Structure 1
Amino acid sequence: MKTADCDILVIPGLAGSEEEHWQARWASRLPTARIVEQADWHRPEPEAWCGRIREAVDAATRPVILIAHSLGVIASVVVAPSLPAGIVRGAVLVAPPDIERTPNLPESVRAFAPIPREPLPFPALVVASRTDPYCTFERAEDFAYAWGAVIVDAGESGHINVASGHGPWPEGLMRLAGFLKNL
């Protein structure tokens, strides 16, 4: 599959993705990509966030690829079982946060718990860092296995965001291209 053959839904995490974030860059450069907007990026509500993802999938005119980061990963995994069968062809899930074990997270973030442990109904890659302050690599690996996803070790990459030096993130685009090629 090529990017021109699918609708790419970019799903940011808490606070959205600032202009320099790799997700915002990809959404502006990939012609079939768009950000799934949330009504409130700073006070997430599971039902509302999942509803926006569901609406975006329902509005798609081609097969869908989800590209989620941080809390967007958790929202994507929560909503996945309720999405129409066969429309979502795959997902790239980057830096999933451990909302169950990370201390000092806002209650609005913890409201997405428990993290689903069922296999996803589509192929997925989980890209995880060994130095993510929001999730240990071992826990991300456990999520990937539970979801039936392939785990990608991003090394010591922090939370894979602007603060950790991941503006354009060309390695991520290469991973996306390889993933799409195999669908």
Structure 2
Amino acid sequence: MSSTASPTVVIVPGLRDHVEDHWQTLMAAGLDKVRIVPPLEHDKLSLDARMAALDAVLADIDGPVVLVAHSAGVLIAVHWAARHDRPIAGAILATPADLSTPLPAGYPALEDLEANGWNPIPRGPLPFPSIVAASTNDPLADFTVVVELARAWGSRLVDVGEVGHLNPAAGYGEWPRATELLDELLITIGAATASNH
């Protein structure tokens, strides 16, 4: 990655897809080079279909890419990374959902997630720098599980406090910390790139 090429940010939403007042949507509106993985019309619970949608967006981008994923989008990104070798410059992985345990009412049932390929969650190190933003009171993932995942992925863990699932239902909307974390990640990527030249 050349120091002059600024990465394209690819937004990877969770199972709720594109939500107008979600911080990912608001963040995307403020970025110059950004793509959002589009919602699926069919097979919404299929991990393979979700990874194919991400792969299609990535295939259409020249130059470096940074992923900004939330909830199940984190797992889409991690599963994708375990199966593809396209280089990714880095990733922000915000409040990953733990789809290996039963979720609260209103979310997909564990057996449906199992049937659609979401488990087991990959636990190999990611081949790119990443930051996991972990909530201490996330109803979709116990903090200790997220800490373990971050360690397994080789990610830098950032405790973002009691932010629930970091979605509109938890009061986020705007989440300025996302931009701060992206800036931190870009500095890390730039430093790594400079040391490789």
Q: Name the counterpart of 1:126.
A: 132
Match of 1:167 in 2: 173
Where structure 2 has 5 or more consecutive residues not aligned to the other structure, the ranges are: 190-197
Name structure 1 gaps, 5 residues minimum: none
Which of 156, 160, 166 pairs up with 1:154?
160
- Larger Rg over CA atoms: 2
Q: Partners of 1:136 and 1:153 in 2: how far apart?
A: 13
Distance 1:108 1:75, change over 3 A: farther
By how many angstroms is 1:17 displaced? 3.2
Counterpart check, 1:91 vs 2:91: yes
Query: Contact 1:10 / 1:68 at 8 angstroms: preserved in 2?
Result: yes
- Structure 2 length-normalised TM: 0.85
Q: Do the aligned residues in 2 keep the contact of 1:57 with 1:88 (CA within 8 Å)?
A: no
Q: Following the alignment from structure 1 to structure 2, what is the Cα–Cα distance between the partners of residues 12 and 97? A: 12
Aligned residues between the structures:
182
Separation in structure 2 between the aligned mates of residue 66 and residue 132 of structure 1, nearest angstrom: 21
Contact 1:45 1:108 survives alignment (8 Å)? no
Pairwise CA RMSD of aligned residues? Answer: 2.1
Q: Is the 8 A contact 2:69 2:77 kept in 1?
A: yes
Secondary structure of the structure 2 residue equivalent to 1:182: helix
2:143 counterpart residue number:
137
Distance 1:154 1:42 in 2: 32
Q: Is the 8 A contact 1:57 1:83 kept in 2?
A: no
SS of residue in 1 equivalent to 2:39:
coil
Contact 2:23–2:175 (8 Å) recurs in 1 = yes
